[in-house]
Structures are given as structure tokens and as C-alpha cells.
Amino acid sequence: MKTHTLQPLRRALFAGALVLSGWTLPAAAAAEEKAPIRPHAANTWYWEYHGEPVILVGGSHRDNLFQWEGQPMIDHLDLLVSVGGNYVRCTFSDRNPGDIYAFKEIEDGIYDLDQWNDAYWERLRVFLRETHNRGIIVQITLWDPFDLAAGNWFRNPWGPDQNINYDDDVIASRDDFYDSVRSENTVMLDYQKRFVDHILEHTLAYDHVLYNINNESRKGPVWENFWAKHILAAGEAAGREVYVTSMHFDPSNAVRHAMTYRDIYSFIEISQNNQDSRGGRGQAHWDNIMFWRKKVANMPGGPVPMNNEKVYGGGMGYRNYSSGTSREAENRFWRNIIAGCASSRFHRDVVDWGIGLTERAQINLRAMSRFLEKVDMLSSHPHNDLITVRAPTRGLMEAYVTANIGKHYAVYFPAGRYVVDLDPWVYVDQLKLRWLSIEDGEWSEPEIVDVEWEGSQDDWGFRGRVRLETPTNRAFVALLEVVE
């Protein structure tokens, strides 16, 4: 029979530095006095970092970037920054070739959960340091159920046959692993806490980390809320602001869950809207976000950021129906931002799940960077009510609008030839128009366009009109600014 032993976690605050299990806050991070990543004080739909508003956009080849040891990971981060990205996902996942486990392997395939694998944690330290140095926001995911799915269960150290710490009288299956809170399985739960606390020892030393409990969760509120509260308590003990969510397998459930437990969750992860099987394509993708925005706008304490750390779509569609096409990945990436979401990141380019940081992703990130230089998203709101589609049926045309009415209007057009009429709503005679070519990442020279007014101010249906026709069949953004 295996014995159940645990090395207790020590947590204390000493001279303003976090001391956890003998590990001290790095001097650079300890001296950091700038505001951490947190909801923007003036507009809580969005984030701010070091006191400045920030729209989070990104893409990466893999989800568990910290496992990608050495220079390849560094080069990937540099590439991301060079194309305008500032946001990555980090799952504590260990099922890919080349991944290592958090625990010490004492013989072939057998682990001691009371001992750490130092190489694993050194990878994490390097990853956190390098992302922080580059101003890249990290959204971590504590638990990924796919790590224990299928044959992974019979290789992972958490399985009783792969460790020396407990037998199958403690957990007999992966379902028991996720039932530890509800069943009050103290042996299993103590080891899980030890693992999470060691993660927190590292992440709480930094100001650029957001927290997600589960990947595509179907584990229920008992499990999720327990870990969310655990993170909040650790943050409070460390004197750190922390912000937590849990990504559900169904995006509507993610919204409901965060609204139900508003005191625990401080942002919402709607990534599953960005795939064909759980979310929507085209107008349906946009309409889902609009539906949830109306609910979130009425949350106690005001709205919270809606993040998209996974934008699916990486192939021809028929090869991975759940994911959708590469073109739809690009469209979703832009629609998320135009719709007022706080983040949008291309999912990993593996088995057609996403386009990662491939050339197509880089093109869109560069263009997004140019877009955000000119458009103040924090003063804008989604406004598809301002456009009229000029086509026999609406389904033949797509256009998506964000606007600060009376100031500026930005209209995103996916690839195709589209014609729409924009009503500026306020009385204005002229607008300055520029086109952003997403393919080239360049703005056209500005031109002045006249607003055509139909009828008179005394007539029912009096409206203004500016006709917008895409220059070519590639993707564009039209930016119209009111001429004072």
C-alpha cells in the first residue's frame, strides 16, 4: 500500500515580497508599482495594463508555450510582438510530444508527486519572465481535461498506476480526479492544491497573468468555483489583484456561469463561439456576441471583459467541421474586436484547429495593429443598426460596424465584394473616408465624401446615407471620421 504524504505549502508576506515554499518574488517584479492587467477603470468591457487601455490580440503555434523550451519559444514571442500581438494562452498541459511532467520521475514511467521536476518549473519561470519583458499578457488555464482523456490517463502521473503516492482506492478513474472537491477526497485534493499552489507561487510574482480554471469545462460549478475561490484567496494573501474565469464547452453557459457567480468571476471566456459546432459563422457569430452583450451590460457592478483566447478555423472546413475554415478564422478574429470583445487570439495551427501564428495570422495581426492605432475602441460600440445592406437578401452581404456616433465609424468587410449604406445618424454633411487593406496592412489616402440626406427633418424616415463599396474582393475596413 502506498503512503500519502505531502510537503506543506508555506505562504507569508515578508518585507513586501511574496515567499511561497521558499521561493521569493523576483526583484524586478517586486519593485513593480505599475497597475497590473485589470478591467479598465473607465470602461470595464476592456482591459488596462500599467494604467493604459489595451486590446488583447494574438496567436501561437501551441497552447502550452512554456513547454516549448529554449530559443524556439523566445523566437515565437518575438515574432508575435513584431506583428503587433500582445496576448498568448498558456495551458498547463503535458500531452504533446516533447512535453514534460511537473513531478519527478523516479523510475521509467513512475513518478513521486511529493517531488517536483525542476526542469518543468524552470520552463515556466523562463516563459513568465520573457512574456513579462515583452508586455505580452498571459491567460493561463489550470486544468485541461484532454490531458487525462483516452490513453493519456495511463501515462499521466496523476493516474494511480503511474505514481508511488496513492493507489486506486484514492482515485480509480479520471472522473474521480475531477470529483475530488464534491466527494471531499482529501488525499487527492491535497495533491491537487499542492500543484496549483506551486503554479501560483510563480504566476503571482507577475502582473501580466489572467486565470482560467478549465479548458472547455463540463465539470460543474462545485469544481470550478472551488478553484476560482482558491486563486482569489491566494491573490489576496500575496497582495495581488487577480482576475478569474472558466471557459465552458458551451459559450452561453460560460456567460450564465459568470453572471450567476459575479462575486467570483471577473471576466467571461466565450471562445467556443469561435467554432462551427458550438458557436456560429458569419452573421450568427456576430449575433451571438450581441445577445450576450445585452445580458452582460446589466451585470451587478457593470459589464466585464469578454475574452476569446481561442479563435478556431484552420482548414478547408470539411477536414475539421467543428473548427471551420481558415477564412472564417480571420473573419471571427476581426468580428470579435469590432463587436466590442476585449481579446481575440488565433488558436493553435494543429489538425486544422486554428491558424496559430502562421503567415495568414501575421497578416491579420499587422492590419489589426494599424487599425487600433487609429480607432479608439474604448469610446466605440457595435452599431450594425447604422448600415443597410444593398443586396437582394441580407445573407449575400456581410459588414460589421463599431462607432462613436458623431465622431467615427469603422466598418469591417470580410473578403468579397460588398455594398452597404451607412447612416451617420447625427446631422453631418461630410465624412473623411479611408480604407484599410487587411492584406497589405496599409491605409488609403483620405478622401472627403458627402452625406446624402433623404427627405426632410419633418418627414418620417428622414435619414442620411454614405454608400460604401469595397475596393476589391479582399477584406477591408472602412474608417469614416466626421469632418468638423
Q: How far apart are CA 295 and CA 297, in angstroms?
A: 5
Q: How far apart are CA 16 and CA 2, in angstroms?
A: 40
Note the pLDDT tens digit of each residue in 375-412: 999 999 999 999 998 766 555 679 999 999 999 999 99
pLDDT band of residue 314 (cuts 50, 70, 90) is: confident
Among the listed ranges 7-21, 150-164, 443-457, which one has the minimum average pLDDT value?
Answer: 7-21
Note the pLDDT tens digit of each residue in 259-281: 999 999 999 999 999 999 888 89
Residue 17 has pLDDT above 50, yes or no: no
Who has greater pLDDT, 453 or 36? 36
DSSP tally for the chain: helices H, then strands E = 10, 27
Map residue 181 onto helix, strand or coil. coil
Phi, psi (deg, nearest 5) at residue 189: -65, -35
- The pLDDT assigned to 30 comes to 42
**CA distances (Å), origin 55, targets 41, 325, 366, 474:** 14, 25, 14, 24
C-alpha cell at position 339: 463587436
Residues 6+ apart with CB under 8 A from 42: 378
Across the chain, mean pLDDT equals 90
CB 103 within 8 Å of CB 116: yes
- The pLDDT assigned to 21 comes to 39
Relative orientation angle of helices 282-296 and 326-338, to the nearest 10 degrees = 30
pLDDT band of residue 352 (cuts 50, 70, 90) is: confident
Domains of the chain: 11-378 (3.20.20.80), 381-482 (2.60.40)
State the pTM of this model.
0.92
Q: How far apart are CA 424 and CA 427, in angstroms?
A: 8
- pLDDT more than 70, % of the chain: 90
